[in-house]
Amino acid sequence: MSEQPIIPCMPSPDGKTWKFWCPHCRVLHHHSAGDGHRVAHCHTDAGQAAFPDGYILALDPNGYLANLEKDATITWRDAIKIEPRLLQLYRQIRAVKDDLDLTHFCANAVWYGHNGHPGFKRHMCDLVGFQAESDDPRIRTMQAYSMVYDKLYGALPDCRNCGCL
């Protein structure tokens, strides 16, 4: 068994998730809030799990991640002026409802595109962050990605009876 690294995280503004910049793929990852083991979602170029035994999440004791966030120079209003499709995506996400007639609802399945859901995250990645289609450098930063991720994911209903939490 390989060693599980401890990954420093910071909470999202709504507290539903913890986030960190992955040391392997250099992309912002989100997991359900709380200390402890998580399964890694990123893979090597050969298709193997980058962290085969997962990793341990812990709140960032030094506040380094919070300092990065504090330096953000883009707001939601700025982001939707630069990339109007973000507002359209936000409205689509706000339209998602938790059908209480069903036994459960999983925001992560809707967000990541599991169990027949189309997945909003991949659409977001085309619009903001390092892979954004825009040439405006303000929308291509990790701060813009983090801010938009929190805004969009936070617009989903909470998970209910799905096992995520």
pLDDT in tens, 72-93: 578 999 999 999 999 999 999 9
Number of structural domains the chain divides into: 2
61 has a pLDDT exceeding 70? no
Q: What is the pLDDT of residue 42?
A: 74
The domain of 97 spans 73-154
- Do residue 80 and residue 133 come from a single domain? yes
What's this model's pTM, rounded to 2 decimal places? 0.64
pLDDT in tens, 18-35: 888 777 766 778 888 888
**Final residue in a domain of this structure, among 36, 53, 69:** 69
- Do residue 140 and residue 79 come from a single domain? yes
pLDDT in tens, 80-132: 999 999 999 999 999 999 999 999 999 988 998 887 887 899 899 999 987 88
- Do residue 80 and residue 100 come from a single domain? yes
Residue 107: which residues within 8 A CB-CB, separation 6 or more?
16, 153, 156, 157, 158, 159, 164
Residue 152 DSSP symbol? H
Q: Where are the beta strands (DSSP E) in the chain?
A: 6-11, 17-21, 28-32, 36-38, 55-59
- Do residue 26 and residue 42 come from a single domain? yes
Residue 92: which residues within 8 A CB-CB, separation 6 or more?
120
Query: Does the residue 164 lie in any domain?
Result: no
Rg, the chain, Cα only: 16
